[in-house]
Chain A
Amino acid sequence: DADVTQTPRNRITKTGKRIMLECSQTKGHDRMYWYRQDPGLGLRLIYYSFDVKDINKGEISDGYSVSRQAQAKFSLSLESAIPNQTALYFCATREQGYPYGYTFGSGTRLTVV
């Protein structure tokens, strides 16, 4: 099993629908992140969590919410999906010791029609 698992891998949804992207990790890391990637661009930070009780907005949090259900689980929700939220979404975790590396999930490709 992958260290960081994202579900679903692909999703097509309609405008206005609520959708949840899930992320789970087996690495025991406290820090988890959600990023969004638009075609041809770098990843942008949506939300991040340094532990279960510490959740922070990133660069582009509008239209998104998150839930940290446990150390291992960090979910991203689109309350009312819109077409410009069509993107590749990545979840990541960060090591607690040197070199504090980041591990990424395989990504969720979301299309809003």
Chain B
Amino acid sequence: AQSVTQLDSQVPVFEEAPVELRCNYSSSVSVYLFWYVQYPNQGLQLLLKYLSGSTLVESINGFEAEFNKSQTSFHLRKPSVHISDTAEYFCAVVSYNTDKLIFGTGTRLQVFP
């Protein structure tokens, strides 16, 4: 069975500072990895995903995540955050032999002016 751990439930940061949201996963088979974002009072939206190939994946709004197989991690980073990045961020995994997207418990990113 797969599982996802997001170590930080909340990450407060000032605007224009860098941020890293941590995600570790556990699985006995190969997995695909996702980051979803949930803005206040909205549904989840895909931010980025790793399927294969280059271990560094980027989103259109400046976030990036790096797949590290040896450390079973998929941390999300942004070099300079904006107020509008305030949201809940969910890491998720799916394996090739299951149809379930397994979510972590989420990290609330709070950006202060």
- Please determine whether chains A and B interact with each other in the same assembly: no
